[in-house]
């Protein structure tokens, strides 16, 4: 009998203890999100006026989970009306560069309470079939957001595709354009590594980087190789400059975003006229991944997928030197045009 009573008491204590721990965790999580989400205005004037019944931005943060559902297209009409949600065309686009750190940049900017990301690469402006579907199709691909938030999408193919600058200009001639770059040779090897992985998965044979990057007939850099061409940043940028003034671009240092993301993100906040809201709290170094990961609050963290941060194959040093020499004059021109200098060889 006594034994039974003791067991019952233990059970009750266990339930009470679990409840107490659960409540404590909930409270800490709420405080975590509050800490991150100080009121955001003066943002209002910058991205359009608030309507009377609009949900304040702070409230949105407690709805991150809910918004996630909306993004997945699970929102009912009633929910959309109730929360005054809209699908907005992007006010800023990460146009490239492939393997520059475009995903990391988008995810990190999404830490900002006034930013909403389009999770998928939409490929509207670079894909003729998609483009033919029209701007409404594009808008409908955007996530739901509050009217005072800005939507950002990234499709790195935009940077190198001939028709894209004119098409984006036609949509919005004052749009803000973000380009994240890495040291061009490293970027080319990263590009190669991604393609190589795909080929390996399909059991296809593939050449070594050296063989693709160097023309065997001339022993010079093979400018027909796409991974090399994409890294000639200045050539692509010059095409964009026929449509947009340089002030509409912001160059992000992708190498620095890996080692020291916060200052790079703060520069982007400034460029987008956003109040500084991303802090060191939102970024923590994960030694296992070897990269910074994202902290939304005390309970919600995430690192980028394993496909980001691949191990590169070793490349012959003479090929690396050749590539460095090849890219050098293009890099100089890139610094000159953009006003941002990098320590590239
Ligand atoms: P590697 O795989 O060569 O290391 P993109 O998103 O444009 O495809 O760029 C991928 C690159 O983003 C990766 O290239 C990786 O180095 C870089 N990167 C930058 N910050 C990162 C982060 N926090 N986590 C993972 N990868 C990151």
**Per-residue pLDDT tens for 180-214?**
999 999 999 999 999 999 998 998 888 999 999 99
Q: What is the pLDDT of residue 279?
A: 97
Give the C-alpha separation, 107 to 71, whole Å.
Answer: 15
Task: Tell me: pLDDT of 48 over 50.
Answer: no
> How large is the average pLDDT for residues 60-84?
57
12 Cα: distance to centroid of ligand 1 (angstroms): 49
Under DSSP, the state recorded for 312 is: P
Which of 94, 103, 302, 311 is the pocket-test mutation for ligand 1 (most atoms within 8 Å of CB)? Answer: 103
Task: Tell me: pLDDT of 222 over 60.
Answer: yes
Coil, strand or helix: which one is 301?
strand
Q: What is the pLDDT of residue 44?
A: 31
Residue 292: its H or E element: strand 291-295
Q: What is the pLDDT of residue 16?
A: 55
Coil, strand or helix: which one is 19?
helix
Task: Tell me: pLDDT of 38 over 80.
Answer: no
Task: Tell me: pLDDT of 128 over 70.
Answer: yes
125 Cα: distance to centroid of ligand 1 (angstroms): 23
Q: What is the pLDDT of residue 82?
A: 76
User: Does residue 56 line the site of ligand 1, with CB under 6 A?
Assistant: no
pLDDT tens digits, 225-258: 999 999 999 999 999 999 999 999 999 999 999 9
User: Does residue 240 line the site of ligand 1, with CB under 6 A?
Assistant: no
Task: Tell me: pLDDT of 142 over 80.
Answer: yes
How much is the mean pLDDT over the chain? 85
Alpha helix stretches (DSSP H) within the chain: 2-36, 43-46, 57-61, 64-71, 77-82, 102-109, 128-131, 135-140, 157-160, 164-171, 184-201, 209-213, 226-230, 233-240, 254-259, 261-271, 317-338
325 as an active site residue: the answer is no
**The two structure tokens encoding residue 34:** 């509050």
Q: Are 299 and 25 in contact (CB under 8 A)?
A: yes
Task: Tell me: pLDDT of 79 over 80.
Answer: no
Give the C-alpha separation, 299 to 290, whole Å.
Answer: 21
- Scan for tokens 């490929």, then name that residue: 123
101 annotated as belonging to a binding site for a ligand:
yes
Q: What is the pLDDT of residue 197?
A: 92
Q: What is the pLDDT of residue 84?
A: 84
Closest among 117, 114, 106, 148 to 275, alpha carbons compared: 114
Coil, strand or helix: which one is 164?
helix
Closest among 111, 97, 101, 95 to 307, alpha carbons compared: 101
Domains of the chain (ranges; CATH) run 84-338 (3.40.50.300)
209 Cα: distance to centroid of ligand 1 (angstroms): 19
């Amino acid at each position: 009998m006594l034994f039974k009573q003791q067991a019952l008491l233990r059970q009750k204590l266990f339930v009470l203890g679990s409840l107490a721990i659960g409540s404590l965790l909930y409270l800490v999580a709420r405080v975590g999100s509050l800490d991150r989400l100080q009121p955001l205005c003066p943002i209002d004037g910058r991205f359009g006026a608030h309507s009377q019944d609009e949900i304040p931005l702070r409230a949105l943060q407690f709805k991150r989970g809910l918004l996630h559902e909306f993004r997945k297209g699970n929102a009912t009409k009633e929910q959309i009306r109730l929360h005054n949600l809209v699908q907005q065309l992007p006010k800023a686009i990460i146009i490239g560069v492939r393997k520059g750190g475009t995903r990391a940049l988008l995810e990190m900017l999404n830490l900002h309470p006034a930013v909403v990301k389009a999770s998928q690469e939409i490929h509207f402006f670079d894909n003729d079939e998609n483009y033919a579907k029209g701007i409404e199709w594009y808008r409908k691909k955007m996530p739901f957001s509050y009217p005072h938030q800005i939507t950002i999408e990234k499709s790195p193919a935009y940077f190198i595709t001939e028709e894209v600058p004119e098409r984006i200009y036609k949509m919005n001639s004052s749009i803000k354009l973000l380009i994240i770059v890495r040291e061009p040779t490293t970027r080319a090897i990263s590009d190669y590594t991604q393609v190589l992985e795909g080929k390996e998965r399909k059991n296809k044979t593939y050449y070594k980087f050296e063989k693709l990057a160097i023309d065997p007939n001339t022993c010079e850099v093979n400018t027909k190789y796409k991974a090399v061409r994409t890294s000639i940043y200045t050539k692509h940028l010059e095409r964009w400059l026929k449509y947009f003034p340089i002030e509409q671009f912001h160059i992000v240092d992708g190498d620095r975003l890996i080692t020291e993301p916060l200052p790079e993100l703060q520069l982007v906040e400034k460029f987008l006229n956003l109040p500084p809201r991303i802090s060191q709290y939102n970024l923590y170094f994960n030694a296992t991944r070897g990269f910074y990961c994202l902290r939304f609050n005390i309970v919600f963290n995430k690192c980028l997928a394993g496909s980001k941060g691949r191990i590169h194959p070793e490349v012959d040093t003479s090929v690396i030197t050749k590539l460095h020499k090849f890219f050098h004059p293009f890099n100089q021109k890139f610094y000159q045009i953009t006003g941002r200098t990098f320590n590239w060889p």
